[in-house]
């Protein structure tokens, strides 16, 4: 009997071979991560009037017949504009056994571009949630909020994680794991609904870089190109001046960093989830899978900061150094991955501090 836990890469490979995950094209290098699978866009995008959930017994394709405004060929690449909602059938589909469920999330690089991306299933009543035993296609809802993006068939904006049973580690057990393995360090180190993360607005002192704010009316970002764009064409750097605080302007998008260094040991996976919205008028973006080995010393890291994609809501909000902004929930792995995050598998964010997405060159 399979133990409860997140399925590692070698089990995901087995799912492809068994037809539990189906695709006309074989997985490409780097698509299968230690505890997740990147999902590839198909060849057609549908511009729709509004976001939707199909609801029980309704296929996404039926909703597209009613809501689609026009279709876009992605085989040669196409620009997805800000303020628009697109639905894209994914190359991967699923035939899950009754004991396996799944959860999707934007990839870290997607979140750092402020691209709102969610996965939808036929009959779905919740985004990014695939029930155990699901058999059918997968679709990505994509809405660029800040930058127009260039995508094509095969682009990978979302990732999916498969789980058996209930692998979530409760707080009382998480306390012991943290005591043994030091899950976070260098910050507040508080546990409640997971490991709480706080914001770093002190940097290395007065005048130091503490974040970025996105510019408006920029050029297009090609999501498949690495180190291709100059950061100052898209971002205004934020430097500490005096008090370690930042006023978040409504509907502006910020890249900030956690005060804590995060560690995900080899037998665990983690996910960033929003903190209680009652503590402030802002949100941390929902991108947030942390693979086994993130920040792990034997995989090239000695703790890695969590980069935070932050957007204020309807009113200006003063964010102060050390304020809690998110939390990490940890889950057991069903088995230890054969290869950890950072071990030669195209891991872009091992050992990171404050860092923009992989699409941007380093700020000199």
Q: Which of 182, 206, 205 is nearest to 195 (CA)?
A: 182
* C-alpha span between 301 and 194 (Å, rounded): 22
203-208: average pLDDT: 91
Q: Which strand (E) or helix (H) includes residue 271?
A: strand 268-274
| 185: confidence class by pLDDT, cuts 50, 70, 90 | confident
What's the pLDDT score for residue 300? 43
On whether both 103 and 215 belong to a single domain, the answer is no
* C-alpha span between 129 and 158 (Å, rounded): 13
What's the pLDDT score for residue 280? 58
Q: Which of 262, 263, 264, 261 is nearest to 336 (CA)?
A: 264
Domain annotation covers residue 337: no
| 288: confidence class by pLDDT, cuts 50, 70, 90 | confident
Is 92's pLDDT higher than 60?
yes
On whether both 200 and 325 belong to a single domain, the answer is yes
Is 170's pLDDT higher than 50?
yes
On whether both 202 and 143 belong to a single domain, the answer is no
On whether both 48 and 138 belong to a single domain, the answer is yes
Decide: 306 and 326 in contact? Cβ < 8 Å.
yes
What's the pLDDT score for residue 128? 94
Q: Are strands 221-222 and 149-151 parallel, antiparallel or unpaired?
A: parallel
On whether both 58 and 126 belong to a single domain, the answer is yes
Is 75's pLDDT higher than 50?
yes
The tokens describing 226, both together, are 């690495």
* C-alpha span between 124 and 54 (Å, rounded): 6
Q: Tens digits of per-residue pLDDT, 114-153?
A: 999 999 999 999 999 999 999 999 999 999 999 999 999 9
Per the document, the length of the chain is 364
- Residue 103 half-sphere exposure toward CB, CA atoms < 13 A: 21
Is 82's pLDDT higher than 50?
yes
On whether both 324 and 220 belong to a single domain, the answer is yes
Domain annotation covers residue 277: yes
209-224: average pLDDT: 96
Neighbouring C-beta atoms of residue 196, cutoff 10 Å: 20
Domain annotation covers residue 342: no
Q: pLDDT: is 277 or 165 the higher one?
A: 165
Q: pLDDT: is 299 or 105 the higher one?
A: 105
Decide: 295 and 182 in contact? Cβ < 8 Å.
no
Decide: 152 and 161 in contact? Cβ < 8 Å.
no
* C-alpha span between 260 and 303 (Å, rounded): 9
On whether both 22 and 153 belong to a single domain, the answer is yes
Domain annotation covers residue 178: yes
* C-alpha span between 174 and 252 (Å, rounded): 34
Of 164, 182, 215, the residue that ends a domain is 164
Query: pLDDT exceeding 90 applies to what percent of the chain?
Result: 75
Decide: 169 and 124 in contact? Cβ < 8 Å.
no
236-244: average pLDDT: 95
Domain span at 36? 5-164
Q: How many Å separate Cα 352 from the centre of its chain?
A: 16
CA dihedral 296, 297, 302, 307 (to 10 degrees): -30
* C-alpha span between 142 and 168 (Å, rounded): 28
What's the pLDDT score for residue 121? 98
What's the pLDDT score for residue 126? 94
On whether both 298 and 314 belong to a single domain, the answer is yes
Of 149, 164, 179, the residue that ends a domain is 164
Q: Which of 214, 181, 203 is nearest to 310 (CA)?
A: 214
Q: Tens digits of per-residue pLDDT, 252-273?
A: 999 999 999 999 999 999 998 8
Domain annotation covers residue 284: yes
Decide: 326 and 307 in contact? Cβ < 8 Å.
no
On whether both 177 and 158 belong to a single domain, the answer is no
Of 129, 145, 164, the residue that ends a domain is 164
| 301: confidence class by pLDDT, cuts 50, 70, 90 | very low
On whether both 147 and 272 belong to a single domain, the answer is no
Q: Tens digits of per-residue pLDDT, 4-53?
A: 999 999 999 999 999 999 999 999 999 999 999 999 999 999 999 999 99
What's the pLDDT score for residue 314? 79
Question: Which of 48-57, 180-189, 347-356: highest mean pLDDT?
Answer: 48-57
Neighbouring C-beta atoms of residue 1, cutoff 10 Å: 6
Domain annotation covers residue 46: yes
On whether both 10 and 157 belong to a single domain, the answer is yes
Q: If you average pLDDT over every residue of the chain, what do you get?
A: 90
Domain annotation covers residue 78: yes
Instruction: Give the chain's domain count.
Output: 2
On whether both 156 and 177 belong to a single domain, the answer is no
Q: Tens digits of per-residue pLDDT, 304-343?
A: 888 988 888 778 989 999 988 888 999 999 999 999 987 6
Specify the CATH number for the domain of residue 16. Answer: 2.70.40.10
* C-alpha span between 205 and 324 (Å, rounded): 20
Domain annotation covers residue 347: no
């Amino acid at each position: 009997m399979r133990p409860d836990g997140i399925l590692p890469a070698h089990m995901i490979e087995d799912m492809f071979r068994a037809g539990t995950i189906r695709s006309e094209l074989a997985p490409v290098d780097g698509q299968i991560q230690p505890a997740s699978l990147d999902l590839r866009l198909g060849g057609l995008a549908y511009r729709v009037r509004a976001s939707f959930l199909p609801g029980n017994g309704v296929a996404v394709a039926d909703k597209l017949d009613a809501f689609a405004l026009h279709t876009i060929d992605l085989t040669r690449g196409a620009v997805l504009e800000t303020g628009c909602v697109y639905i894209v059938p994914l190359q991967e589909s699923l035939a899950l056994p009754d004991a396996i469920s799944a959860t999707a999330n934007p990839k870290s690089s997607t979140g750092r571009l402020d691209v709102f991306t969610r996965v939808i299933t036929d009959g779905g009543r919740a985004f990014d949630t695939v029930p155990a035993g699901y058999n059918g296609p997968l679709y990505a809802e994509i809405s660029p909020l800040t930058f127009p993006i260039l995508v094509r068939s095969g682009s990978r904006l979302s990732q999916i994680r498969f789980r058996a049973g209930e692998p979530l580690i409760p707080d009382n057990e998480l306390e012991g794991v943290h005591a043994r393995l030091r899950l976070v360090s260098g910050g507040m180190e508080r546990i409640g609904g997971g490991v709480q993360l706080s914001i770093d607005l002190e940097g290395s002192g007065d005048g130091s870089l503490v974040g970025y704010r996105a510019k408006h009316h920029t050029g297009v970002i090609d999501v498949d190109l690495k180190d291709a764009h100059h950061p100052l064409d898209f971002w205004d750097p934020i430097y500490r001046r005096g008090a370690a605080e930042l006023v978040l302007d409504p509907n502006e998008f910020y890249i900030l960093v956690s005060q804590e260094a995060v560690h995900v040991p080899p037998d665990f996976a983690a996910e960033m989830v929003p903190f209680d919205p009652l503590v402030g008028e802002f949100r941390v973006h929902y991108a947030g899978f942390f693979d086994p080995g993130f920040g792990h010393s034997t995989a090239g890291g000695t703790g890695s900061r969590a980069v935070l994609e932050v957007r204020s809501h309807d009113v200006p909000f003063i964010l102060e150094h050390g304020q809690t902004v998110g939390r990490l929930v940890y889950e057991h792995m069903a088995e230890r991955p054969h290869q950890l995050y950072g071990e030669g598998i195209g891991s872009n964010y091992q050992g990171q501090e404050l860092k923009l997405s992989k699409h941007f060159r380093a700020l000199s």
